[in-house]
Amino acid sequence: MRFRLLVSESVRSLLANTSTTVAATMTVLIGMFLLGLFVALGSWMLAFSDNTKDKLLVKVYFCTEVSCKQPASLEQINFVRKQLDADPLVKEVVFVSKKEALDRMRKRTPEIVAGLTSNPLPDAFEVKAVDGANIKQIATNLSSPALPPGVEKVKDGEEVSARVLQAAKIMSTAFGIATVVLLVSSALLIANTIRLSIFSRRREIEVMKLVGATNWFVRGPFMLEGLICGLAGSILAVLLLLIGKELVLPQILGQIDSSSGVQSLAFGLNALIVIGVGLTIGVLGSGLTIRRFLDV
């Protein structure tokens, strides 16, 4: 009974104050759309920089008949492995055999592999660093003072890596700051819209208090309205984001390579964040704003 009264009062004033309802909903919509966009882009950036770091490998190529007359022996390979395992900077060492290397190459460039009569590729280690920034150090540790026996060469992606990592760092910092600024400004914007709508209804609140409405009776419908506007605005924002994701993004980027491992935050999760923030701002915004009008 109480609840029905609350709902009917809220719906009534939402309909009676169409312009403020629309304004509040649109404000939430814009704020939450931008938030969703930033969360998606930001998490994509993070994934991208993680992925790039992962790709930064130290490659240790072992000798083959072709490269140094004599292929590396099993002992030599194990020796290198032990040395790498002992290095605290190393996260993971993966052995890529000649055969595997050829298989990979076949996948990437089948026309070249088709012309080969034998497998010219060496056995190799792919060494992942705990921190991508340290790959050069790992390579130096391994190759100084001299390359271990059986190793043809040690290759690191330093040239690319430093720049990529720096860019990624700057970008993710920028995105972090932008997201915070955005959150704060949209919260202020929404709070302001709510304050305007409550201000225009001071008289109503005054009358409510006069006829003996409890504070919660006054606050309830306002907060429910905030909730409804927040919900409507953020659901619309999610819809817009979905349209953007499904229609606009493929147009810009072409076919998205989903196997690359560079993924933004799952859309569902992003949508949940957007709706959650929208609801919270709606309810808390109106609940807190109305407090100062309750002292009649």
Partner 1 sequence: MQEQNLETQLTTPADGVPENGASGMATFAPDPGGPLAGAQGSGTMIVFENVTKIYEPNVVALNEVSFVIDKGEFVFVVGASGSGKSTMIRLLLKEMEPNSGRILVGGRDLSRLKGSKVPLLRRNVGCVFQDFKLLPNRTAAENVAYALKVQGESKLSIRRKVPEVLSLVGLSERSESLPDELSGGEQQRVSIARAVVNHPPLLICDEPTGNLDPDTSVGIMQLLYRINRAGTTILMVTHDREMVDKMRRRVIALEDGRLARDERRGGYESE
Secondary structure of residue 191 in the 3-state scheme: helix
User: Which residue in this structure is represented by tokens 């819209």?
Assistant: 193
Specify the residue, 9 or 54, whose C-beta has the smaller distance to partner 1.
Answer: 9
Q: How far is residue 58's CA from residue 138's CA, in Å, rounded to a whole number? A: 7
Q: Please answer whether residues 272 and 61 qualify as being in contact, where contact means their C-beta atoms are separated by less than 8 angstroms.
A: no
Specify the residue, 88 or 212, whose C-beta has the smaller distance to partner 1.
Answer: 212
φ, ψ for residue 235 (rounded to 5)?
A: -65, -40
Could you tell me the smallest distance in angstroms from the CB atom of residue 252 to partner 1?
48
Specify the residue, 140 or 214, whose C-beta has the smaller distance to partner 1.
Answer: 214
DSSP state of 244: I
Could you tell me the smallest distance in angstroms from the CB atom of residue 12 to partner 1?
9
Q: How far is residue 265's CA from residue 59's CA, in Å, rounded to a whole number? A: 31
Q: Where on the chain is the footprint of partner 1 (CB under 8 A)?
A: 1-2, 5, 9, 16, 203-204, 206-215, 217, 296
Could you tell me the smallest distance in angstroms from the CB atom of residue 206 to partner 1?
7
Specify the residue, 266 or 296, whose C-beta has the smaller distance to partner 1.
Answer: 296
Backbone torsion region of residue 69, taken as left when φ is above 0, otherwise alpha when ψ lies between -120 and 50, otherwise beta: left
Specify the residue, 166 or 214, whose C-beta has the smaller distance to partner 1.
Answer: 214
Could you tell me the smallest distance in angstroms from the CB atom of residue 270 to partner 1?
39
Token output for 127: 């060494």
Could you tell me the smallest distance in angstroms from the CB atom of residue 8 to partner 1?
9
Could you tell me the smallest distance in angstroms from the CB atom of residue 202 to partner 1?
12
Token output for 217: 């009776």
CB atoms within 10 A of CB 285: 27
Specify the residue, 74 or 211, whose C-beta has the smaller distance to partner 1.
Answer: 211
Token output for 29: 């919509």
